[in-house]
Amino acid sequence: MTTSIYASRLRRIAPVGLALVLAAGCGGSGGGAESKTDRRPPAAPSPTGAATATASAPTAKPIGADDPALKEFYARKPAWAKCADDKATKADESLLECAKLRVPLDYANPAAETIEVQAYRKKATGERLGVLAVDPGGPGSGVLRMVAGFGQRPALAERYDVVGVDPRGTGDSNPVTCVDNAGIDRLRGLDPTPDDAAELASISAFHAEFADGCTARGGKLLAHLGTREVVGDLDVLRGVLGEDKLNYFGYSYGTFLGAVYLETFPGHSGRMVLDAPMDPALDRVAAARSQARGFEQTFRAFLADCLKQSDCPFDGTVDEAVRTLADRLHKLGEKPLKAAGGRTIGEGEAVNAISQAVYSEQAWKDLRATLAIYLGDDARRAASATDYWLGREEDGSYPSDHAAANVTINCADGRQLTIAEADALAKELADPLPITGPGVAWSFAAQCRPAGADRARPISAPTAPPVLIVGSTGDPATPYEQAQALTPQLPGAVLLTREANGHGSYNRGNTCVDTAVETYLLKGELPAVGTRCT
């Protein structure tokens, strides 16, 4: 990939996948056609699919290892072995062990069919406290890199076996694909502000084609990619490792996995850190609105900083810079830049790249360079800049793209908007949030086959242990308001606030956050209520 104008360090800061394509996974837990949050008392969830107890059936069905139908899965011992060489792309990854776990395809019918999911382990180097499971979010991201990275944090690596399971449909756990590389190009290039009915019909047709591709390639697996199934897999991992408690660290969508685990298996929940959390009570429309505000707020913070820099391509105020860029993006939508090989760079590609770049303040210098290119007419440089942010290689491939997994997991969880809902929301957001609003709305869109049920509701885990929630005041993908909303849903939870921009707070260079997180994980000591890190 051509990276002449960018520092290679950005590959380490940018989150896995694409901002807008992965946006829906960071926004909320469920979907209903209405934007009003459903706060009815929840039914107790179960990865086994057990029905809620009623007056005629007062005894709840056993779940997890207590379910006789699942005991065999908890009794299997993983055959840990050095990971294959193709996984050891870095020295720290060569220290990992790999194993396959056998789990039910459908926890509601565990005897019918089974699948294998990929597990990883980096064993503790010192006196062991237990296991620390991790998940980087997405949804759509595998856990290999995160297990390796946390296994290199000295304090954690000494005391914990760092473990993880590639969620179903990701990594090496039956990865899902829906379209080829050319299809991903088309997905990245969808215009978030269609100008007429014909353009909207074209977008709808592509989503239908994408859904058909998922169905053809994913088959019956698609109905069993949801969060509840992955939570069941996490508990099987705990069980086969012989651990009574699962300690856990999740970023972004990984916080939803952690919260549902707390709700489903409170007795097996240990020390848990939920960093950059989602609010499970938000329905899909409310989630999209929240995330759209988050991206635009962070982008405006970027512009305020940009206007102080000598290489900023804008003049005047933040509002004036927004108008200048919005006009340019609209023109790119009407007349994309034509690059080599018939490729075009239009509004869709530009908005995706911009949203990816605002995930971390460390990327802002390079975002200034990218925006200067988009304001010009050099198609070759625009294509090179776009490819960098979107992870597109010179041969047109997307080796780290997780669009298919993101869409199919969100569909299984009922988090995707219909085409009509996305179009209406994009139009609603176009004026107040002109740079990222419409793109975020469309990132939640899919023609799901199958479509999961609306699961938007607060988490109910009254017997779970206290957890640590970490939120950043300038988080674009999971805005701080969601961290504030999740905290009272988990009794005894403490919210640690990082006063900064960016998605995720731990292991981002903030000593205050890192110390608080590691003190909790190693000693069980939560920070004081109201602690803020600058």
What digits encode the pLDDT tens for the residues 361-383? 999 999 999 999 999 999 999 99
Say which CATH architecture domain 64-175+222-282+458-533 belongs to: 3-Layer(aba) Sandwich (3.40)
- Do 367 and 354 meet the contact criterion of CB atoms below 8 Å apart? yes
> What is the average pLDDT across 438-464?
92
Residue burial 235-256, b: 16+ Cβ < 10 Å; e: rest: bbbbbbbebebbbbbbbbbbbb
Say yes or no to pLDDT of 40 above 80: no
pLDDT category at 261 given cuts 50, 70, 90 is very high
On average, the pLDDT of the chain sits at 88
Q: How many helices (H) and strands (E) does the chain have?
A: 19, 12
Note the pLDDT of residue 61: 64
What digits encode the pLDDT tens for the residues 99-155? 999 999 999 999 999 999 999 999 999 999 999 999 999 999 999 999 999 999 999
The tokens of 517 are what? 């997180």
Nearest to 219 by CA among 170, 173, 172, 177: 177
Note the pLDDT of residue 455: 78
Say yes or no to pLDDT of 242 above 70: yes
Q: 1 Cβ partners below 8 Å, 6+ apart? A: 387, 388, 392, 393, 394
Say yes or no to pLDDT of 32 above 80: no
pTM of the entire predicted model: 0.88
Could you tell me the residue ranges of all domains in the chain?
A: 64-175+222-282+458-533
Note the pLDDT of residue 237: 98
Note the pLDDT of residue 57: 37
What digits encode the pLDDT tens for the residues 314-369? 999 999 999 999 999 999 999 999 999 999 999 999 999 999 999 999 999 999 99
Looking at residue 445, the DSSP 8-state letter turns out to be: B
Looking at residue 97, the DSSP 8-state letter turns out to be: E
